[in-house]
Amino acid sequence: MTKLTSFLIVSVLLIFAFVPRSLPAQATLPSTAAGAQLSAWLTAFDSHDRATLLAYLQKNAPDRVAHIDDELDFGRRTGGFDLRKVQDCDDTTCAALVQERNSDQFAQANIEVDPAPPHLIKKLDIRAIPRPAEFPLPPFTEAAALDALRSRLDKGSTDGTFSGAAIVAKDGKPCFTGAYGLADREKKIPNTLDTKFRIGSMNKMITATAIVQLAQAGKLKVSDPLIKFLPDYPNQAWASKVTIHQLLTHTGGAGDFFGPEFDKHRLELKTLQDYVNLYGKREPTFEPGTSWDYANYGFILLGIVVEKASGQDYYEYVREHIFKPAGMTSTDSLPEDQAVSNRSVGYMYSGDSKSFVPNNPTLPYRGTSAGGGYSTVGDLLAFANAIENHKLLDAEHTELLTVGKADTPGGRKYAYGFFNQTLPDGVFCFGHGGGAPGMNGELAICPASGYTVVVLSNLDPPAATSMANFIENRLPEK
């Protein structure tokens, strides 16, 4: 999944959830130089008009003009910002709380301007923050929460911000299902609950489950170094240091594989070993165990570990040991050039045409152990139920898989292929999302409340993420 450029500093999953709401009267920025500039930027940003924003940036922040397309895309994703509270403003700096117009998400806005007229912007960033206690969400009953979700999905389908399917389950049984929008716009095929959506990094949950199954079977230890299973790995020094645990928790420095090299060789990368052949000689991004950084390449290597430890092809292993016992009949990672019934077309936003276009030019040859496969909302609910009911792992190893071990910059913990988070009402959940151009998905499993949420979309993030977090934030504690 691509990262927002550095001119807007945001954390992962900045965009939480779309929600119609009545706001109190907006706060007012003071008429200091910094306050006036922040107010003017918000007005230009919230216009969603390229000419308006360009004129403002050319006059007040010329170094940001090169990033205008990113800024416009950010505005499209968030819906703009409402000013909720002024924190501290003087002549040259101003700090304020803002909230996405179509979302629950709060952010910290900070601006610094030149002291002399025309007070050009020296720094402006928007950082996602947890919802402040002074702005609580009202409590919802289950019925009210589901009604609100239904309204939000209907609106998203109408205004083009959502296309996909959703399931909310209580104690493993669906209490809400819905499908919206088109799986194929050219052929006018609607999305259904049986539509297969590309799930991006949600595959990491499957790969991590496979690794822990092999640990339970005594075929590996999570403390084992990578070199035990890949003795011919090109970077021998790193492979001797980095452990399976560190690869599972993104603390090994494995790095990403997306970028110019991937774009150049995208359709040549047909096997997991092909990725090692291309990236295996490079140095780690940090010394193993010293930091945390989301590392797609690490999960490629874990897929090969599954093969070496099990003696099976990765794809065959997960079909036999995860999909079949969980009852996942519509999940796989067949190559993109193979016909797959009910697989949706992914649509990504085209900034130039201001419309959605198929994401085919961005797709890998096939999904991998790091992500890119496909599934349905029903299959992912079946996976969640299999995890909770210990169909895939015993209780001890289920806990090993799902309980957080590494702190992340966004304040959540990362387990083995699962994020841990605590919702505003204190409910603990674990799961994982996935996102790339033309695809977005989320799974959240909340054992204490009994709820499971699955949302999949064939649009850019945050189409599914916003809807999933919308309902997660409103479901009752029990």
74-105: pLDDT as tens digits:
888 888 999 999 999 999 999 999 999 877 88
Q: Grade residue 424 by pLDDT with cuts at 50, 70 and 90.
A: confident
pLDDT for res 354: 64
Q: Is the pLDDT of residue 140 over 80?
A: yes
For residues 298-313, give the mean pLDDT: 98
Neighbouring C-alpha atoms within 13 Å toward the C-beta of 178? 22
The CATH superfamily assigned to 142-205+315-472 is DD-peptidase/beta-lactamase superfamily (3.40.710.10)
Model pLDDT for residues 48-74, shown as the tens digit of each residue: 999 999 999 999 999 999 999 889 988
97 close to 107: Cβ distance less than 8 angstroms: yes
98 contacts 78 by C-beta, under 8 angstroms:
no
| HSE toward the beta carbon, residue 247, CA cutoff 13 A | 33
* Tens of pLDDT, residues 187-223: 999 999 999 999 999 999 999 999 999 999 999 999 9
What would the DSSP string read from start to end of 256-307?
---SHHHHHHGGG--SHHHHHHHHTTSPPSS-TTS-----HHHHHHHHHHHH
Q: What is the mean pLDDT of the chain?
A: 92
- How sure is the predictor about 454, in pLDDT bands with cuts at 50, 70 and 90? very high
Q: What is the DSSP string of 180-229?
A: ESEEETTTTEEP-TT-BEEEETTHHHHHHHHHHHHHHTTS--TTSBGGGT
SS3 111: strand
DSSP summary character for residue 66: G
Does residue 330 or residue 138 have the better pLDDT? Answer: 330
Residue 287 contacts by C-beta under 8 Å, 6 or more apart in sequence?
Answer: 241, 253
Task: Quickly count: other Cβ atoms within 10 Å of residue 217's Cβ.
Answer: 12
Residue spans of the domains in the chain: they are 33-129, 142-205+315-472, 218-304
Give the CA distances from residue 292 to residues 23, 252, 288, 317, 360, in Å, rounded to whole numbers and listed in that order.
37, 8, 9, 28, 31
Q: d(Cα 467, Cα 442) in Å, to the nearest integer? A: 9
Print the SS3 string covering 317-364. HHHHHHHHHHCCCCCECCCCCCCCCCECCCEEEECCCCEEEECHHHCC
Q: What is the pLDDT of residues 251-290, one digit of tens each?
A: 999 999 999 999 999 999 999 999 999 999 999 999 999 9
Amino acid residing at 202: M
Q: Do domains 33-129 and 142-205+315-472 have the same CATH topology?
A: no
| Cα atoms in the 13 Å half-sphere on the side-chain side of 291 | 10
Cα 97 from Cα 85, distance rounded (Å): 5
| Helix (H), strand (E) at residue 464 | helix 463-472
Q: Which CATH number applies to 33-129: 3.10.50, 3.30.470, 3.10.450, 2.30.30? A: 3.10.450
The whole-model pTM stands at 0.88
Instruction: Quote the percentage of the chain above a pLDDT of 70.
Output: 94
Rounded to whole angstroms, how far apart are CA atoms 21 and 465? Answer: 19
Q: Which residue has the higher pLDDT, 123 or 7?
A: 123
